[in-house]
Amino acid sequence: MNEALNTPVRRAKREVSSDDFPIGQKPDILLHDDQPIEREQIITALDDRLDNSYAEALKIAEEPVTILIHPSREKNAPIVVDCWVNGRGAEVFVNGQWHTFNCLPVNVAVTTKRKYVEVLARSKIDTINTDVEDATVENPANRINRMTSSTAVFTVIGDTNPKGGEWLRRLMTQQG
């Protein structure tokens, strides 16, 4: 009993899953028969960086992060996920060396660089659904509902950067 008091159990850091954060959703589009279509700005500049300079951002992008990509729920789900940055396949740390692959394995813990984890976090798909008002009305309105979801759900198993969880949260909650 005395030994347990002198050497308390240290709990490992909790793993962070990309599913833990809400994904930024785009607003619905309302189409009226008698009005022009409102177009949203597709490209937006982000000023909420965690780092102070471009050089610091490049340094952070090269940090190793250990992740586990979860398998998709679809039938015959792929066993790998394509992952590229500037035409270069994902770099994976294997047997003490960095190796370049064109994809990352599913359901296997791998250590890769943060920039490839960012590609996975930003990899999203929009599902479109339309609601049409009664067609007998003079000017029926159509509503386009957009649901954004991740294409690759993963868990961060190891990240030495103390701001890593906040970094992932910001990526996942951004729109687009």
Per-residue pLDDT of 67-119, as tens digits, reads 999 998 888 989 999 999 999 999 999 999 999 998 999 999 999 999 999 99
CA 151 to chain centre: 8
Does residue 9 register a pLDDT over 60? Answer: no
Q: What are the start-end ranges of the H helices in the chain? A: 2-6, 54-61, 114-122, 164-173
Average pLDDT over residues 13-32: 72
Give the span between the Cα atoms of 86 and 147, in whole angstroms.
28
Give the residue, 44 or 21, on which the prediction is more confident. Answer: 21
Average pLDDT over the chain reads 81
CA 87 to chain centre: 19
Give the residue, 121 or 18, on which the prediction is more confident. Answer: 121
Contact 171, 165 (CB under 8 A): no
Q: What is the pLDDT of residues 105-148, one digit of tens each?
A: 999 999 999 999 999 998 888 888 988 877 777 777 788 888 88
Does residue 27 register a pLDDT over 60? Answer: yes
H or E stretch at 68: strand 64-69
CA 125 to chain centre: 11
The predicted pLDDT at position 88 comes to 92
Confidence of residue 53 (pLDDT cuts 50, 70, 90): confident
The predicted pLDDT at position 11 comes to 47
H or E stretch at 142: strand 141-150
Sheet with 29-32, edge to edge strand ranges? 29-32, 141-150, 124-132
Angle made by CA atoms 51, 20, 58, in degrees to the nearest 5: 20
Q: Which of the residue ranges 27-36, 89-98, 135-144, 152-161 would you say has the lowest mean pLDDT?
A: 27-36
